[in-house]
Amino acid sequence: MLLAFERAAYHRSFKLAAAELHITPSAVSHRIRQLESDLGIPLFQRLPRSIRLTAAGQTYFRDIHRAFARIENGTEQLSHQFGRQVLRLHLLPFFATEVLVPRLQSFQSQHPDIDLRLESSFGRSQTHPDHADLSIGLGQGSWPGLVSIPLMELELQAMCTPALAATIRPDHAEDVNEHTLIYFESNLDAWEQWARGVGLKKFEPANTLTMDSIFSALQAAEQGLGVITAALPLTANWLERSHLVPAFPQRVKIPDQYYVLYRKGDEVRPNVQQFLRWLSEEFG
């Protein structure tokens, strides 16, 4: 029951908790209701399309999350002392699947004694979980109490299907206003950043389409539903596999970039040092 609550509270979703625990969402819901019944306290507000922690739930989650983190850290220390090394990475899903995982074979071949555990979560990854050794976060470099090392700068370029591109004049940025612009929730400012970067004085898109993730936003663009701002080089591999083409030639550098994060003092650990060195070699 406690693990179901902790994972549901962490993800703010019964569905995502169920996927991680390899059980059904109804099983997660049942276990949490049993926990609430045992405690005599509601831990979640059940909204029509989401869940929200109550004040009591927030307090309980902080305590339970720290407890599980201590258990994992104890397990890791035991593994370091008597078994194989384990390195836990926390990062955003798209970065994991499109950037990091395709490169991991080289790290594994260089360090076969280190087992990697990857955990991803949606959002802007503004925190470094207690149980993680390293995180890769998206932001502008300010993570109080953490060491942050720049990993990847980003540029935005408007992309769409060839059919849509044929209706756009590449030297007239204002043509973007005549089309549906695709947004995704982890960067709702992307189109405004692009418009400012190309010097567009009047930015009034005909329609907008907002998706919950960059995955679904890119898929919508591939279906011809609109124009998307693709962050490069983050989406480079995806774009190579797709049929999307630039709607306009301009690329706009943005302040957000990817950083590798860790707690002060953790850099002395050999497995952390080895992964940081590998990241430096891979990303320059």
Q: Write out 1-45 in H/E/C secondary structure.
A: CHHHHHHHHHHCCHHHHHHHHCCCHHHHHHHHHHHHHHHCCCCEE
Compute CA distances 7 → 31, 144, 213, 231, whole Å: 12, 25, 20, 30
d(CA 272, CA 89): 10
d(CA 214, CA 93): 9
Closest CA to 230 of 279, 161, 173: 161
Quote the percentage of the chain above a pLDDT of 90.
66
> β-pairing, 245-246 with 51-53?
unpaired
pLDDT class of 95 with cuts at 50, 70, 90: very high
| pLDDT for res 166 | 96
Say how many Å lie between the first and final Cα of the chain, rounded: 44
| Maximum distance among all Cα pairs of the chain, rounded to whole angstroms | 65
| Cis amide prior to 233 (ω within 30 degrees) | yes
Phi, psi of 48 (to 5 degrees): -55, -40
pLDDT in tens, 204-248: 999 999 998 899 999 999 999 999 999 999 999 999 999 999 999
| pLDDT for res 151 | 94
Average pLDDT score, the chain? 89
| pLDDT for res 67 | 85
Closest CA to 194 of 239, 226, 158, 233: 158
Residues in the chain: 284
Of 51-55, 68-72, 160-164, least confident by mean pLDDT is 68-72
Threshold 0.75, pTM exceeds: no
pLDDT over 80 (residue 276): yes
For CATH 1.10.10.10, the residue range(s) in the chain are 1-83
| pLDDT for res 96 | 92
For CATH 3.40.190.10, the residue range(s) in the chain are 154-254
CATH code of 154-254, in short, is 3.40.190.10
Is the CATH number 1.10.8.50 carried by domain 1-83? no
pLDDT in tens, 177-216: 999 999 988 788 999 999 999 999 999 999 999 998 899 9
Residues β-bridged to residue 86: 115
pLDDT class of 77 with cuts at 50, 70, 90: low
| pLDDT for res 246 | 97
pLDDT over 90 (residue 19): no
